[in-house]
A and B are shown apart, each in its own frame.
Chain A
Amino acid sequence: SYELTQPPSVSVSPGQTARITCSGDALPKQYAYWYQQKPGQAPVLVIYKDSERPSGIPERFSGSSSGTTVTLTISGVQAEDEADYYCQSADSSGTVFGGGTKLTVL
């Protein structure tokens, strides 16, 4: 199975742009998905198929892909965006999550 690598933490001030990266050798061939998880809650899908946003997810959340790296971008970060973020991908043998990134809103 392959691995997905995320930075452990990212910090931004309110109103700024947060970028969280996820790297993996399989990403050029497989879609990536992003989840937000707040303390004590189940994860919520915020981006699917690299860059698509599910209904109900604010427009400030966007995703992009370039080679072996995918990026979750949160524009105009708000205090409520403070959470853990996980990337995920899958192939025929299974599914893998990145280690997670804690987003701190200063």
Chain B
Amino acid sequence: EVQLVESGGGLVQPGGSLRLSCAASGFTFSSYWMHWVRQAPGKGLVWVSRINSDGSSTSYADSVKGRFTISRDNAKNTLYLQMNSLRAEDTAVYYCARNGQDGGLGYWGQGTLVTVSS
């Protein structure tokens, strides 16, 4: 069974940093592109970042470019999102998702809440 479990969320002050993790199991993690998607309270889904299967290529939404870094450790079956210079508008539930061979995000974690507030 495919499982994605996010962790690392919490309350952080504006300007602070946080690292999210997504532990993957039930599939060959190193074969799949992975994404981070966020959802502010009461709002829609917003794509944040993606990384290819071996970690050599990454892409970011303009809103996080230069502040967030996506990475992965295929030996540990774990996806990461390093978030720096956090702003109030980064407050959201952050989901990790697996990019399927069909191009869709077929598997999602349960999400982890990040709250940026003083």
Measured CB to CB, the residues of A under 8 A from B are 1, 31, 33, 35, 37, 42-45, 48-49, 52, 54, 84, 86, 88, 90, 93-100
Please tell me if the beta carbons of B47 and A95 are within 8 angstroms of each other in the complex.
Answer: yes
Cα–Cα distance between A78 and B45 once the two chains are bound (Å): 24
Which of B40-67 touch A at CB < 8 Å?
A: 44-47, 50, 59-62
A37/B105 in contact, CB under 8 A: no
Please state if A94 and B95 are interface contacts (CB–CB under 8 Å): no
> Which of these, A31, A54, A84, A98, contacts B106 with CB under 8 Å?
A54
Chain B residues with CB under 8 A of A90? 103
Contact status A93-B59, CB under 8 Å: yes
**In the complex, what distance in Å separates the CA atom of A48 from the CA atom of B106?**
9
Supposing A90-B103, A94-B61, A95-B50 touch, asked if A35 and B45 sit within 8 A by C-beta, the answer is yes
Specify which chain B residues have a CB less than 8 angstroms from the CB of A49 in the assembled complex: 102-104
Chain A residues lying within 8 Å of B103, measured Cβ to Cβ, are 31, 33, 48-49, 90
28 A–B pairs (Cβ distance < 8 Å), ordered by A: A1-B62, A35-B45, A35-B105, A42-B95, A42-B110, A42-B111, A43-B108, A44-B108, A45-B100, A45-B105, A48-B102, A48-B103, A48-B104, A48-B106, A54-B106, A86-B44, A86-B45, A88-B47, A93-B59, A94-B47, A94-B50, A94-B60, A94-B61, A95-B59, A97-B44, A97-B45, A100-B44, A100-B45
